[in-house]
Amino acid sequence: MSGLEVFHEKQRLELCAIHALNNVLQERVFTKEAADDICKRLAPQCVVNPHRSVLGTGNYDVNVIMSALQSRGLAAVWWDKRRSVQSIFLEKVQGFILNVPSRVSLGLVSLPLRRRHWLAVRQVNGQYYNLDSKLKNPVWIGGETEL
């Protein structure tokens, strides 16, 4: 990364949505408390909030991400992965937040369960990086053609 500092928040609990938001914004803006407040605003009458884990460990849904972005004057645009990336007007895009399948492990043993995981991809100084919070460091992708 040639001395360039790329903000990269690492995975903690089930807070991948928060990490993806902060990584795409390139600063620590959102916290678990802020996400929990958003959940309460989205479902104020619910005893069991449908937008997060009942265990209080995170696992926030897309509504929390969209509301968090809106609170910063940003908008999320749904994207169908079957469409070509070349049709995206990248000059208008601050970053990408992806929801991908993720394996569940108990130590070194991989369980036959599937969960969903939020991760961020962001351009920094003309280069794109995979800012998945499960990675040890940001992974360089390259320029627009490699995206």
Residue 105: per-residue pLDDT: 67
* List of residues 6+ apart from 139 with CB closer than 8 A: 129, 130, 132
| Cα radius of gyration (the chain) | 16
Which residues on neighbouring strands pair with residue 95, listed in sequence order? 122
Instruction: Decide the pairing of beta strands 139-142 and 109-124.
Output: unpaired
Residue 112: per-residue pLDDT: 65
Could you say which DSSP state residue 58 is in? B
Residue 1: per-residue pLDDT: 42
pLDDT along the chain (147 residues), means of 10: 79 95 98 96 90 89 96 90 80 90 72 81 94 97 87
Query: Which residues are part of the catalytic machinery?
Result: 16, 117, 132
Evaluate whether the domain defined by 16-142 bears CATH number 1.10.3470.
no
Residue 83: per-residue pLDDT: 83
In the chain, where are the structural domains located?
16-142
pTM for the complete prediction? 0.87
